[in-house]
């Protein structure tokens, strides 16, 4: 991942690549953990939930850094030859990924707070409660968080599929920009 720190007109820089891959790896770990919580019990569930919450805090922090970095170092432009509809779909998918990678950790944190459970980050301790204990709100947030998880899974699948299509079939250099 050596090279330029900032993004260029054609390629992502080292900082963008590192931030992207930290979020990607966390999300790839978090989604199955989140879905598995319905099937786990006891200490297995507690451990999976603790890891899921810790990764969520990391994602929240790194996505905030990504947004700030993106304001400082604009991303490369999409290829000129792409059809306008393809550019629109790509831009919408990226915006929705940002929205969900911010919204999912926040909704999970709010849900934990509404259930009266602190989000504990190893080495930091408990994060502040976002809302007061409120079971109806907790259940609504739990539902929203689950639906968001399915939507995030779909968006990530679309994102990865498009990257692989560009890298393996079109071989147009688009996937290489983030590797």
For the domain that residue 63 is a member of, what is the CATH number?
1.20.950.20
Higher pLDDT, 44 or 176: 44
What pLDDT, on the 0 to 100 scale, is given for residue 179? 84
The pLDDT assigned to 122 comes to: 86
Segments of the chain assigned E as strands: 120-121, 125-126
Tokens of residue 44, six digits: 């297995």
The reply to whether 66 falls in a domain is yes
- At 113 the pLDDT is 98
pTM of the shown model: 0.91
Q: Is the pLDDT of residue 13 over 70?
A: yes
Arithmetic mean of pLDDT over the chain:
93
Confidence of residue 78 (pLDDT cuts 50, 70, 90): confident
Domain-embedded: residue 7: no
Q: What range defines the domain where residue 68 resides?
A: 14-178
Percent of the chain with pLDDT over 90: 83
Domain count, the chain: 1
Banded pLDDT at 1 (limits 50, 70, 90): very low
Q: Which of 114, 119, 118 is nearest to 141 (CA)?
A: 114
| pLDDT at 2 exceeding the cut of 60 | no
| Residue from 149, 15, 165, 13 nearest 90 by CA | 165
Interval 123-150: pLDDT, tens: 889 999 999 999 999 999 999 999 999 9
35 domain-assigned: yes
- What's the whole-number mean pLDDT along residues 90-106? 96
pLDDT confidence of 175, banded at 50, 70, 90?
confident
Q: Is residue 83 part of a domain?
A: yes
- The verdict on residue 9 lying in a domain is no
Answer yes or no: is 8 within a domain: no
Would residue 115 count as lying in a domain? yes
């Amino acid at each position: 991942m050596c090279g330029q720190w900032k993004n260029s007109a054609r390629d992502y820089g080292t900082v963008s690549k590192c931030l992207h891959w930290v979020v990607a790896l966390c999300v790839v770990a978090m989604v199955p953990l989140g879905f598995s919580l319905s099937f786990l019990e006891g200490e297995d569930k507690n451990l999976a939930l603790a890891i899921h919450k810790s990764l969520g805090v990391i994602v929240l922090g790194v996505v905030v850094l990504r947004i700030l970095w993106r304001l400082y170092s604009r991303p490369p432009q999409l290829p000129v030859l792409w059809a306008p509809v393809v550019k629109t779909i790509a831009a919408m998918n990226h915006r929705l990924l940002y929205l969900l990678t911010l919204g999912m950790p926040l909704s999970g944190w709010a849900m934990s707070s509404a259930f009266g459970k602190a989000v504990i980050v190893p080495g930091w301790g408990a994060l502040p409660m976002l809302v007061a204990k409120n079971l109806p709100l907790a259940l609504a947030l739990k539902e929203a968080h689950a639906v968001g998880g399915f939507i995030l899974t779909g968006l990530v699948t679309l994102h990865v599929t498009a990257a692989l299509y560009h890298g393996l079939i079109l071989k147009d250099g688009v996937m290489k920009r983030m590797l």
